[in-house]
Amino acid sequence: MSEVVLARIDDRLIHGQVMTAWLQYTGGNHIVIIDEETAKDDFLKTVMEMSVPEGVKLDIFGIDDAAEFLINDNDDEKLLLLAKTPAVYYALIEKGVKLDEIVVGGMGAAKNRSKFYKNISASEDEKVIFGKIIDAGTSMKVQIVPSDKSTDVSGLLS
């Protein structure tokens, strides 16, 4: 059975921090992007494939296919899950995917979002989803890179 070594929210998906710091820190060897838009866009998929270091496997799924993959996975890999929003992870949890921890890494400013913590922004709906994820038994923390001190999201929701 594969092991999820990192489940990260980052609206940029694959970028330098993920590729260097988090891959090295976790020992991950298989990146799984869960994003409906990317899964349907051949050009975006090609760009993502070109961003992955040699020797690291990449899969790109929509939510339903990702849930099926994660529930039925029988490989022996170290998985890094990447999604743009907390709603994706909550949908996976509702479909029966067990996640011990989710790291909030990159949620930039956008319409309906306000400052949540340092350079992390979240909408009121996203904050509600954070709470639902935590209530479902998954811990959440903000941590941009592995060398940063993490901050528990539950303490930021009050």
Question: Over the stretch 91-133, which tens digit does the pLDDT of each residue have?
Answer: 999 999 999 999 999 999 999 999 999 999 999 999 999 999 9
- Specify the CATH number for 3-156; select among 3.30.450.20, 3.20.20.70, 3.40.50.150, 3.40.35.10: 3.40.35.10
Averaged pLDDT for residues 22-27: 94
Q: For residue 139, what pLDDT is reported?
A: 98
With both helix axes pointing from N to C terminus, report the angle between 63-72 and 86-94 in degrees, rounded to the nearest 10. 50
Any idea what the Cα angle at residue 10 is, between residues 132 and 150, rounded to 5°?
A: 70
Q: How far apart are CA 107 and CA 146, in angstroms?
A: 17
Phi-psi region of 96 (alpha: psi -120 to 50; beta: other; left: phi over 0): left
Task: Report pTM.
Answer: 0.95
Which alpha helices (H) appear in 12-76, and where do they start and end? 16-17, 23-26, 36-39, 42-51, 63-72
User: Which helix (H) or strand (E) element contains residue 10?
Assistant: strand 3-10
Q: Where are the domains of the chain?
A: 3-156
Six token digits for residue 153? 């999201």
Q: For residue 15, what pLDDT is reported?
A: 87
Q: How far apart are CA 145 and CA 127, in angstroms?
A: 21
